[in-house]
Homo-oligomer: A and B are copies of this chain.
Amino acid sequence: MTEKLVDILQNAPSNWGKWGDADELGAVNYLTNEAVLRGAQAVETGDVYALGTPIGRKAGDPKSPSRQGAQHFMARDEGHYEAGKVESASDDYMNWADDVLNTYLHGTTHIDAPGHVWYDGQLYNGFDATTTKGGLDRCGIEHVADHGVVGRGVLIDIARHRGVDHLGRGERIELSELQECLDAEGVELQKRDIPIIRTGWIEAFYDGGVPTELEKLDEPGLTYTDAVAEWFHEMEIPAFGTDTIANEQTNSEETSSRLPLHPALIRDQGILFNEILKLDELANGCAENGTYSFLFVASPLKILGGTGSPVNPTAIT
């Protein structure tokens, strides 16, 4: 039997009003100076990890099949000079190359704006869904980009914990497994930390093992339960990331809805989703050093009214 989303999420906790009726930021408000400083204190080695995926591979990039791939074109390169297509470089002046990118904002590693998803006619904090027409008037990514996403990140390496290269299609991660994994890693997830959950899924994509056709998008991950939503709420999670395309079990085992964590966490709690992370090198570094926390800095572009932004998040251990 199919339940309505309003019924599925009837007990889901909410952050509406917590930061005032005008708030468009959501849970990133948890990233106070104190949270930033706790992140900075996690820096020990000075190792830097860049968690974005490459953009523009001929073989295609990991993304939801509902979106087209990025296009990258040269407006000017040495060929243009050779062929006289741009003004000849004089002897006293340099040549330069110039290029253009056309991309879906969710078409590579990215952060979702709080206004990216909605149900029952309302966005995060109760803003009307009609404000999304022609660009997000409310809860657009520019506000998150102005604020910054800086805090203490904690890697929860489920794939390594399970002893597999990557989780299987559609496999579920239980809430209890997060804690078991943290315990095994010997790290404590503190309130207002940013959990980064590794499944090995994107690595499997690059290895050719994960098809991206929409009908086959059947990712592993957490799914909605009242307890999961409560956990995010009580832990005051500002943002969380995974190395999957949508950060949750595609076909929820628990509800009749597809991707129910999106509305529960983004729309009800204003939590940022950081999707399509590349976590292999960070995971190796953490395992080698035995430390799983780091300063996490993700910096969306200030795209006015954007529903999200490509990012290449930085983890500094």
Give chain A's interface residues, CB within 8 Å of chain B: 2-6, 8, 31-37, 40, 43, 45-50, 52-57, 66-69, 71-80, 82-86, 89-106, 108, 115-119, 129-137, 142, 145-148, 150, 256-259, 262-263, 267, 295, 297-308, 310-314, 316
Closest 9 CB pairs of A and B: A79-B79, A33-B46, A85-B134, A73-B73, A79-B133, A83-B133, A80-B134, A36-B46, A48-B148
B-chain residues with CB within 8 Å of residue A316 when the two chains form the complex: 36, 40, 150, 297
Contact B99 A307 (CB under 8 A): yes
B-chain residues with CB within 8 Å of residue A259 when the two chains form the complex: 93-94
**Additional pairs, 12, CB under 8 Å, beyond known A36-B46, A79-B83, A299-B313:** A50-B302, A55-B302, A74-B133, A78-B118, A85-B133, A85-B135, A93-B259, A94-B118, A99-B305, A100-B104, A102-B102, A299-B312
A-B contact pairs, 26 of them (CB 8 A): A2-B92, A32-B46, A36-B43, A37-B43, A40-B40, A40-B295, A48-B150, A54-B142, A67-B75, A72-B303, A77-B135, A79-B130, A80-B134, A82-B133, A85-B137, A96-B118, A96-B307, A97-B117, A97-B136, A98-B307, A99-B307, A100-B102, A100-B104, A101-B105, A297-B316, A298-B299
Contact A77 B134 (CB under 8 A): yes
In the bound assembly, the distance between CA atoms of A85 and B301 in angstroms comes to 20
Contact B94 A302 (CB under 8 A): no
B-chain residues with CB within 8 Å of residue A129 when the two chains form the complex: 78, 95
Q: Which residue of B lies closest to A32 (CB)?
A: B46
Contact A48 B36 (CB under 8 A): yes
Contact B93 A116 (CB under 8 A): no
B-chain residues with CB within 8 Å of residue A262 when the two chains form the complex: 94, 96
In the bound assembly, the distance between CA atoms of A68 and B3 in angstroms comes to 38
Name the distance in Å between A114's Cβ and chain B's nearest Cβ: 11
In the bound assembly, the distance between CA atoms of A54 and B177 in angstroms comes to 41
Name the distance in Å between A94's Cβ and chain B's nearest Cβ: 4
Contact A116 B96 (CB under 8 A): yes
In the bound assembly, the distance between CA atoms of A118 and B96 in angstroms comes to 6
In the bound assembly, the distance between CA atoms of A54 and B73 in angstroms comes to 21
In the bound assembly, the distance between CA atoms of A43 and B94 in angstroms comes to 39
Known pairs A48-B150, A307-B97; A312 contacts B5 (CB<8 A): no
In the bound assembly, the distance between CA atoms of A71 and B116 in angstroms comes to 19
Contact B74 A45 (CB under 8 A): no
B-chain residues with CB within 8 Å of residue A72 when the two chains form the complex: 135, 303-306
In the bound assembly, the distance between CA atoms of A88 and B204 in angstroms comes to 29
B-chain residues with CB within 8 Å of residue A75 when the two chains form the complex: 67, 73, 104
B-chain residues with CB within 8 Å of residue A297 when the two chains form the complex: 297, 299, 314, 316
